[in-house]
Every structure is written in C-alpha cells, then in structure tokens.
C-alpha cells in the first residue's frame, strides 16, 4: 500500500513506564505512562508528568492509573484516553481524527493475540486510520542503527519498565527470543520490599524509583561508586520519621535474584541460536537498551556471566522509540504487523 499521500504519521513507544511519540520524524512527547481521572465525571484531569506528580498523592476525587502492566494494556479505557491526550498534546492544532493519520506502535515480542488486539483497538479508537505494530526488540535494533535485514546475527536485550525483551535478529526476522516480566517495575517493587524488611520503613513507588536512579546497581564492587542515598520515610509500626542511608551495595544485593533471571533468559536464547548466528553475536557483542540498561555495572556483570561483551546503547531509554520512528518511514518492512 502506498502511504505517500498521508500527511501525518505517528510512531508510539507505548511503554509501561514512559510513552514516547515521534510525529513527522520529530520527538514530540516523552512522558510517564500515567493518567489522572476525575472519579465522579470520568474526565481526564492530567496525563504524563502532571499526572505522575499526583500519583500516590491524589485527592479522593482524583484517581491516577498506569494503563500498562508488564508491557501490555491492563486498563483499556485509560490507555485509549492516554494515547488520545498525548496526541492532542503533540498536535494541538489538528484533529486526530483527520483521515491523513497513521500509526506504528511497538509491542512486547511475547504479546498474545488478545494483547495485540487490545493495542490495535486502543490505537484505532484514539484516531488512527491506518495501524501497524512492531516488536520491541526489532524496534530497539533499528533505533541503535543495526541493519536488521542483513544476513548476519544481532542480539538485543531491551530492559523496559514491564518486560525484558531478548532477541536474536537476522534477515529482518526474530530467530530466537524470550520476553520475561522482570524489568524496571520489578526492580522498583523489590527496593520497596527490601526497605520495608531491612529498615522497617514504608516508601512509595516514586521514592523507590529515586533510590533506583541514585544508587541502583547490578554489582556490589563498582569502581565509580555513587554516594549513599538519604531517604526519609515513616516507620511501619510507629509512623515516626526514619532517616536511612541506602548504599548501592544493598541495592545490588536486593536486585540480585531478578538480574539472575535476566541472565538465565539470555543464556536460554543463546542456547536456541543457530551456530552461524552465534558466531556473529560473539564478534559484535550483545546490545543493551531500555531504561534498565542504565543500571550501574549491569553490562559488566552480564559480560562476565555470558562471556560475550555487552554494549550499552547510546541513549538506551529512547532506542525503541527511535526505531519505531524508523519503521514508520518504511511501511513495507516485512516485520511490521497489522
């Protein structure tokens, strides 16, 4: 189908933690995937950063919702409203229902047909007149500049908010892959649990994310070690304020089991990789993308475990979004789905 007559094209990285939108080859939205809704009227109060500021602080009349869980849509109505509002923010002077409007959205490689249908329906109800999907690891590979149609193997490990996508790509297709529900949100939840058990304090999701950003680590012996992070939170029993100094070694210990699961999935994908492609991967190394790729010491730990060099992509958090934008300009790519 020839898309040259379309004047508006939108690429969406609909992530569990963040949504990034490219419109006409420009990044126009980069916001948290969250929406605030009035409980009584059902009207949208805020989306993105403004809604996140209300998260866990909302009044009885306002409810904040994260529409995606584990990389897929968990609340259809909220997801549809969020997409619609983001596109309005991106293009306020133009109706999103204009006929010259098409969309490419990335999805986890382990998505079921039901989950794909939910994304397709949400996109179409948000105003898309033509719609395609791309798997996240393929989008990540495009986003970091790999030639995905070449007759050689490339391996991507994309650690997002809801899922970790591991894939070997060759000749425009995914040869071996795994999608596991261990990623950034898992890390955040484990930090919350650790602080409750170890310090007997109660912290919210946003505070735990800050701990992850400031002292998150995959190894307990970093060369460039961050200073301990000071957090003030209520004691679980007395509700008295407690000041705690959290070290990166503690966080590395608390995230160890989850990172081990990612390591095992990487080894499993490599086990199912054809020998010729395996040789290509050893030569090129394995590419880390997604927000989780920025965890201190992760590439070093994985390299030691797998005995293949891991490379953290430039701006790993936006790799999938950039790749979705590349796919948007090439609608004839064989790996795009409807």
pTM of the model: 0.89
Residue recorded with tokens 């549809």: 80
Are 128 and 153 part of one and the same domain?
A: no
pLDDT at 1 over 50: no
In a domain, 223, yes or no: yes
Q: How far apart (Å, rounded) are the C-alpha atoms in residues 261 and 292?
A: 14
Query: In this predicted structure, what is the pLDDT of residue 92?
Result: 66
184-199 vs 256-271: helix axis angle to the nearest 10?
150
Are 150 and 134 part of one and the same domain?
A: no
pLDDT at 232 over 50: yes
Q: How far apart (Å, rounded) are the C-alpha atoms in residues 304 and 17?
A: 29
Query: In this predicted structure, what is the pLDDT of residue 7?
Result: 52
Q: Last residue of some domain: 254, 284, 300?
A: 254
Answer yes or no: are the C-beta atoms of 46 and 61 closer than 8 Å.
no
Are 25 and 93 part of one and the same domain?
A: yes
Q: Last residue of some domain: 254, 270, 289?
A: 254
Long-range Cβ contact pairs of 327-333 (< 8 A, separation 24 or more)? 327/11, 327/104, 327/132, 327/134, 327/138, 327/139, 327/142, 328/9, 328/10, 328/11, 328/22, 328/104, 329/9, 329/25, 331/1, 331/3, 331/104, 331/132, 333/134, 333/172
Are 127 and 178 part of one and the same domain?
A: no
What burial letters (b/e) apply to 145-182, b meaning 16+ CB within 10 Å?
Answer: ebebeeebbbbbbbbbbbbbbbbbbbeeebbbbbbbbb
Are 176 and 233 part of one and the same domain?
A: no
Are 233 and 217 part of one and the same domain?
A: yes
Are 125 and 29 part of one and the same domain?
A: yes
pLDDT tens-digit readout, 156-184:
999 999 999 999 999 999 999 999 999 99
pLDDT at 143 over 50: yes
Of the candidate ranges 27-41, 52-66, 138-152, 286-300, the one whose mean pLDDT is the lowest: 52-66
pLDDT at 2 over 60: no
Are 230 and 170 part of one and the same domain?
A: no
Query: In this predicted structure, what is the pLDDT of residue 96?
Result: 46
In a domain, 2, yes or no: no
Query: In this predicted structure, what is the pLDDT of residue 43?
Result: 92
pLDDT tens-digit readout, 272-327:
999 999 999 999 999 999 999 999 999 999 999 999 999 999 989 999 999 999 99
CATH number of the domain that residue 65 is part of? 3.30.420.40
Burial class (CB in 10 A: 0-12, 13-18, 19+), 249: middle
Answer yes or no: are the C-beta atoms of 233 and 307 closer than 8 Å.
no
pLDDT at 331 over 90: no
Q: Last residue of some domain: 210, 238, 254?
A: 254
Residue 317 main-chain phi, psi, to 5 deg: -65, -25
Q: Enter the tokens of residue 206.
A: 């946003």
Query: In this predicted structure, what is the pLDDT of residue 118?
Result: 87
In a domain, 293, yes or no: yes
In a domain, 3, yes or no: no
Segments forming the whole domain that contains residue 239? 184-254
For 137-152, what is the mean pLDDT?
A: 94
Are 274 and 243 part of one and the same domain?
A: no
Are 177 and 204 part of one and the same domain?
A: no
**Sheet of 8-14, strand order:** 26-32, 18-23, 8-14, 101-107, 130-135
Bridge-partner residues for 310, per DSSP?
286
Report the relative pairing of strands 72-73 and 164-170 from DSSP bridges.
Answer: unpaired
Are 63 and 22 part of one and the same domain?
A: yes
Are 273 and 240 part of one and the same domain?
A: no
Total domain count, the chain = 3
């Amino acid at each position: 189908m020839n898309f040259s007559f379309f004047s508006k094209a939108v690429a969406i990285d609909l992530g569990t933690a963040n949504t990034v939108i490219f419109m006409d080859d420009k990044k126009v939205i980069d916001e948290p995937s969250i929406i605030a809704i009035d409980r009584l009227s059902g009207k949208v109060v805020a989306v993105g950063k403004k809604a996140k500021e209300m998260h866990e602080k909302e009044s009885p009349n306002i409810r904040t919702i994260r529409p995606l869980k584990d990389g897929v849509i968990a609340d259809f109505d909220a997801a549809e409203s969020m997409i619609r509002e983001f596109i309005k923010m991106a293009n306020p002077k133009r109706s999103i229902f204009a006929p010259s409007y098409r969309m490419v959205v990335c999805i986890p490689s382990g998505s079921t047909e039901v989950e794909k249908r939910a994304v397709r329906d949400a996109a179409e109800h948000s105003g898309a007149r033509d719609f395609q999907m791309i798997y996240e690891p393929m989008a990540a590979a495009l986003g970091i500049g790999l030639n995905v149609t070449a007759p050689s193997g490339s391996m991507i490990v994309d650690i997002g908010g809801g899922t970790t996508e591991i894939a070997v790509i060759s000749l425009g297709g995914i040869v071996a892959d795994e999608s596991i529900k261990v990623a950034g949100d898992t890390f955040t939840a484990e930090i919350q649990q650790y602080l409750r058990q170890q310090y007997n304090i109660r912290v919210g999701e946003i505070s735990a994310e800050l701990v992850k950003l400031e002292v998150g680590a995959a190894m307990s012996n970093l060369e460039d070690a961050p200073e301990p992070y000071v957090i003030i939170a209520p004691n679980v029993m007395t509700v008295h304020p407690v000041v705690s100094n959290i070290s990166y070694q503690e966080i590395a210990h608390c995230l160890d089991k989850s990172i081990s699961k990612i390591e095992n999935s990487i080894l499993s994908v490599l086990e199912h990789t054809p020998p010729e492609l395996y040789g290509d991967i050893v030569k090129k190394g394995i590419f880390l993308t997604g927000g989780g790729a920025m965890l201190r010491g992760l590439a070093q730990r994985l390299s030691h475990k797998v005995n293949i060099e891991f490379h953290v992509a430039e701006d790993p958090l936006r790799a999938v979004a950039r790749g979705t934008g590349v796919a948007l300009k090439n609608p004839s790519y064989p790996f795009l789905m409807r």
